[in-house]
């Protein structure tokens, strides 16, 4: 039978509930338990796919093609939980389902209301998460986005309160993650906001069993622990101090020291042997011990949000672990290359260049110039999704002489649409959930860099894009531009080009898919790993490494 951990947030948003859930999941898995993970998001968007990643953070894609909240990326990197479209639900998605049922007449005669109809739908999503799992799930960890006290979170919290009664109180526990701020004038960590937020939770009928206190750079002392325990009616051992910890992957080890897993398992009454964390600990030591540094330029539109490319940033951390080096990823604005600044100048101190995913026209010509610079100067190049499309355009323009070659996304009138919409995308009007999404099979060509990186003939990687390589340009690009197609998705009459490389270059590889979504610290993604390795080689050649 599955038991449940529900995680709520208190005092402010962005307290790191996602990492707390992911860390707990990792600790429970280490003890041999099978876990499932899920997040509820209180916004009205049906999914985050249409939201601006520069405001909301990246959109994380699952194998089955769901566009989900970036916290699922943390779950993926810390645990082996299977993530799917069942792992994320929003207020918009819940209401959408209820309204569709209402239209079909499934509530005939009834007034449809938040309680019980919306709360029932929320509860059914929790049950669906584990309903047809291949193996029995021991613990499902369910995170509620937002902060207790928000109007938007109320139906979710009410549903959890009911769920606890439905399955019997010993079968679930509530973890509340709050901020305990340091007030300099008093020279103290203050527990009052946490007390208030627990009071707000109790008003809804939920008593937290564990409180994780985020304390910034301060460490919580025994007095404050006792105070939170007493005022919030929680046992001392269930107060977990969570100061800022770097690297990120050391966070579960801090929780382990405080026996978070023991406390949760005691509350859920699950006996489990102590786990073996030596593999994880060794990974953290390797990460901390890296001495060499490699500098990578991420060329693109300016981003003011660290989380906009969260999975890419983390995949580079993982690639650093695999190469025993620190990867210094630095943002380089591509628009400057459209205003007279030469890539050779701005990029001269970098060992590798990456052009990542993107939408829209801003900074596009600058990205193409950056590709040209890396190709001609033999600087390792890694293109991800839009970064692959830019590489194809660059080759067509500068090696085939098709000066106006472009993607029809950017220039619908281009005479040489080397990147274009496939017929199945042409009739689509709705923008939500209609891209090419999720995992596709990709066959690799022996003798290529991609094949060497993966060490496999067939792989699966996740997609999120609308436009594709135009096969009408395949032969000329291969014959006259040095293009190598190293990965394709077989599709009968027309295979889709998924990975390209160029000849006579130390490392130039670009994928139409998003390899970052599958990278984890224990299993660094092969293309990221080899790109960083090639960049390290270059740093040695140029005397920087």
Q: Give residues in contact with ligand GLN (CB under 6 A).
A: 357-359, 385-386, 409, 464-467
Shortest Å distance, C-beta 359 to ligand GLN: 4
Rounded Cα distance between 156 and 502, Å, is 51
Instruction: Find the helix or strand (DSSP H, E) in which 381 lies.
Output: strand 381-384
3-state secondary structure of 540: helix
Least CB distance to ligand GLN at residue 141 (A): 29
Pairing between strand 35-41 and 88-90?
A: parallel
Q: Is 213 a catalytic residue?
A: no
Rounded Cα–Cα distance for residues 448 and 483 (Å): 12
Catalytic member of 121, 314, 439, 516? 516
CB atoms within 10 A of CB 103: 9
Residue whose CB is less far from ligand GLN, 284 or 386 = 386
**What residues have CB less than 8 Å from 331, skipping those under 6 apart?**
298, 300, 302, 303
516 classed as catalytic: yes
Q: Give the whole-angstrom CA distance, residue 226 versus residue 191.
A: 10
Q: Name the residue nearer to ligand GLN (CB basis): 55 or 349.
A: 55
CB nearer ligand GLN, residue 36 or residue 312: 312
Task: Find the shortest distance in angstroms from Cβ 411 to ligand GLN.
Answer: 13
Min CB(531)–ligand GLN separation in Å: 17
How deeply is 345 buried, as exposed, middle or buried, from its count of CB atoms within 10 A (0-12, 13-18, 19+)?
A: exposed
Residue with tokens 């999975």: 311
Q: Which is nearer to ligand GLN, 467 or 508 (CB)?
A: 467
Burial of 353 (0-12, 13-18, 19+ CB in 10 A): buried
The SS3 of residue 516 is helix
Burial class (CB in 10 A: 0-12, 13-18, 19+), 177: buried
Smallest gap, in angstroms, from Cβ of residue 512 to ligand GLN? 8
Which of 178, 512 has the CB closer to ligand GLN?
Answer: 512
In the complex, the smallest distance separating the C-beta of residue 467 from ligand GLN, rounded to whole angstroms, is: 3
Q: How far is CA 397 from the centre of its chain?
A: 34
Dist CA 127 CA 536 (whole Å): 48
Question: Count of CB atoms within 10 A of residue 51's CB?
Answer: 15
Tell me whether the omega of the peptide bond preceding residue 247 falls within 30 degrees of 0, making it cis: yes
What's the token pair of residue 222?
């025994």
Which residue's CB is nearer to ligand GLN, number 74 or number 464? 464
Which C-beta is closer to ligand GLN: that of 161 or that of 465? 465
Give least dist CB 371 to ligand GLN, A.
14
Q: Which residues pair with 142 in a beta bridge?
A: 6, 38
Comparing CB distances to ligand GLN, the nearer of 27 and 297 is: 297
Nearest approach in angstroms of CB 61 to ligand GLN is 9
**SS3 state at 213:** strand
CB 185 within 8 A of CB 166: no
Among the listed residues 385, 420, 442, 509, the single catalytic one is 385
- Helices 386-398 & 474-481, crossing angle to 10 degrees? 60
Whose CA is closest to 58, among 284, 359, 345?
Answer: 359
Q: Is 479 assigned a catalytic role? A: no
Residues marked active site are found at 385, 514, 516
């Amino acid at each position: 039978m599955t038991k449940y951990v529900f995680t709520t947030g208190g005092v402010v948003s962005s307290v790191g509930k996602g990492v707390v859930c992911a860390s707990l999941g990792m600790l429970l898995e280490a003890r041999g338990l099978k876990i499932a993970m899920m997040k509820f998001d209180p916004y009205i968007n049906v999914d985050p796919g249409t939201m601006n990643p520069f405001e909301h953070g990246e959109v994380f894609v699952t194998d089955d093609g769901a566009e989900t909240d970036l916290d699922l990326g943390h779950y993926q990197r810390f645990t082996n939980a299977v993530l799917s479209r069942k792992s994320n639900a929003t207020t918009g998605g819940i209401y959408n389902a209820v309204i569709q049922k209402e239209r079909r007449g499934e509530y005939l005669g009834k007034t449809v209301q938040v309680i019980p109809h919306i709360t029932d739908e929320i509860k059914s999503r929790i049950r669906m998460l584990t309903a047809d799992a291949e193996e029995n799930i021991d613990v499902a960890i369910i995170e509620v986005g937002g902060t207790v006290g928000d109007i938007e979170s109320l139906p979710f919290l009410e549903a959890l309160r009911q769920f606890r009664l439905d399955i019997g109180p010993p079968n679930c526990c509530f973890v509340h993650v709050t901020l305990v701020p340091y007030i300099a004038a008093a020279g103290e960590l203050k527990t009052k906001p946490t007390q208030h937020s627990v009071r707000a939770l109790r008003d809804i009928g939920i008593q937290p069993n564990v409180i994780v206190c985020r304390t910034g750079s301060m460490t919580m002392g025994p007095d404050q622990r006792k105070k939170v325990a007493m005022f919030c009616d929680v046992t001392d051992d269930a107060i977990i101090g969570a100061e800022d910890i770097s690297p990120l992957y050391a966070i579960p080890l801090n929780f382990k020291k405080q026996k978070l897993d023991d406390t949760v398992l005691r509350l859920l009454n699950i006996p489990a042997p102590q786990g073996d964390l030596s593999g994880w600990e060794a990974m953290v030591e390797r990460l901390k011990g890296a001495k060499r540094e490699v500098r990578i330029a991420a060329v693109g539109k300016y981003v003011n949000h660290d989380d906009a490319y969260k999975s890419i940033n983390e995949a580079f951390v993982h690639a650093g672990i695999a190469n025993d080096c620190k990867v210094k990823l630095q943002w380089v604005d591509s628009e400057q290359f459209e205003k007279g600044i030469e890539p050779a100048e701005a990029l001269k101190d970098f060992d590798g260049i990456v052009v990542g995913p993107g939408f829209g026209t801003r900074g596009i010509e600058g990205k193409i110039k950056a590709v040209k610079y890396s190709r001609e100067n033999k600087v390792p190049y890694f293109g991800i999704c839009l970064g692959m499309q830019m590489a194809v355009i660059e080759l067509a323009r500068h090696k085939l002489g098709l000066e106006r070659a472009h993607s029809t996304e950017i220039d619908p009138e281009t005479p040489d649409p080397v990147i274009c919409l496939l017929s199945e995308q042409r009739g689509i009007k709705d923008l939500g959930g209609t891209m090419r999404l999720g995992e596709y099979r990709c066959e690799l060509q022996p003798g290529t860099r991609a094949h060497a990186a993966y060490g496999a003939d067939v792989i699966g990687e996740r997609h999120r894009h609308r436009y594709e390589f135009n096969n009408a340009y395949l032969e000329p690009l291969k014959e006259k531009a040095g293009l190598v197609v190293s990965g394709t998705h077989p599709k009968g009459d027309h295979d889709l080009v998924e990975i390209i490389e160029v000849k006579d270059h130390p490392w130039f590889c670009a994928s139409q898919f998003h390899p970052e979504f599958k990278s984890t610290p224990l299993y660094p993604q092969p293309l990221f790993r080899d790109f960083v390795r090639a960049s390290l080689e270059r740093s040695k050649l140029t005397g920087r490494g």
